[in-house]
Amino acid sequence: MAKRHYIPITADVPGVGDRAKALIRRAVGTALAAEGVDFPCEVDVSVTDDGGIHQINLDMRGVDSPTDVLSFPAFGLTPGELPGEEDADPATGLTPLGDMALSLERVRAQAKEYGHSEQRELAYLVVHSVLHLLGYDHLDEGPEKARMREREEAIMTALDLAR
């Protein structure tokens, strides 16, 4: 990364210490670099529990259930497309890419379910969310989902957290 990104992390649950925050920031930075985001940007991260993400899902998407991660892109990008210089906030010089919300309860449960570390699961969900912020999607079982999974695995390998 040529320039620093601003990645504020808020948590309304215990267990989100300096190590977890550092991993979140490293995963965001690695994903952004892998996707060619070399300009200063902002990604806001909220870490909550199943109840908190359930409420966000209901309020923002009308979906009455918890989930592992939610992504709220600032732009309607397509994979490979990036915001322009004109999209930067003139006051900060940062381009706001969007927000993500993660359920720490889901991180722990899914790590156990999939038989890998909580760190890997946390990083994976962060990478997954960053790709959504950059226009990737997986609604179909076809080429879009395959492209997103390929990018996720490449970034997880760069983080030394591959399967």
- Give the domains, in start order, of the chain with CATH numbers: 9-158 (3.40.390.30)
What confidence tens digit (pLDDT) does each residue in 123-146 have?
Answer: 999 999 999 999 998 777 788 889
Rounded Cα gap, residues 17 and 118, in angstroms: 13
Task: Reply yes or no on whether the pLDDT at 52 is more than 70.
Answer: yes
73-78 long-range contacts (CB < 8 A, ≥24 apart) are: 73/97, 73/98, 73/132, 73/133, 73/134, 73/135, 74/98, 74/133, 75/135, 76/135, 77/134, 77/135, 78/135
Q: What percent of the chain has pLDDT over 90?
A: 88
pTM of the shown model: 0.95
Task: Reply yes or no on whether the pLDDT at 1 is more than 50.
Answer: no
- The chain-wide mean pLDDT, for the chain, equals 94
Quote the pLDDT of residue 163: 80
